[in-house]
């Protein structure tokens, strides 16, 4: 299955820009959302193949978004990488329990992101 679309959900324009450059370099078509509510509206219209989701955002945080996403029709399909500065194991476990496929610590680079995407089967290793 060719994964081609990626939605980057982060309230930081800079993080979205950096992530977009990396993910487009891996051959994805990329869209962006500034918070969970915007991302949820996007996913209701067109479900992306992969999502990079920030934890701490205004309006709707990443965890609330993830729980809502997984309840949508087809919402169990996308690979979700949680991108966060959270390092506490209990918080990471909470994200994984909510339906994240893996997590990436910020700041990340292309190599880290590529290896995480490969780990969850979103790109060929």
pLDDT in tens, 70-111: 999 999 999 999 998 878 899 899 999 999 999 999 889 999
Question: Helices then strands (H, E): number in the chain?
Answer: 5, 5
Around Cβ 103, how many Cβ atoms within 10 Å? Answer: 20
**Whole-model pTM over 0.75:** yes
Do 55 and 82 touch, CB atoms closer than 8 A? yes
Alpha-helical segments (H) within the chain: 13-25, 36-45, 62-71, 89-97, 110-119
Which tokens is 65 given?
Answer: 């978004």
């Amino acid at each position: 299955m060719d994964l081609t679309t990626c939605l980057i959900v982060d309230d930081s324009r800079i993080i979205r820009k950096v992530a977009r450059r990396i993910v487009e370099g891996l051959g994805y078509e990329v869209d962006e959302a500034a918070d969970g509510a915007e991302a949820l509206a996007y996913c209701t219209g067109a479900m992306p193949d992969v999502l990079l989701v920030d934890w701490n955002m205004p309006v709707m945080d990443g965890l609330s978004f993830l729980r809502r996403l997984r309840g949508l029709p087809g919402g169990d399909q996308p690979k979700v990488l949680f991108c966060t500065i959270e390092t506490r194991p209990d918080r990471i476990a909470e994200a994984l329990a909510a339906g994240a496929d893996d997590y990436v610590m910020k700041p990340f680079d292309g190599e880290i992101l590529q290896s995480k995407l490969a780990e969850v089967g979103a790109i060929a290793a």
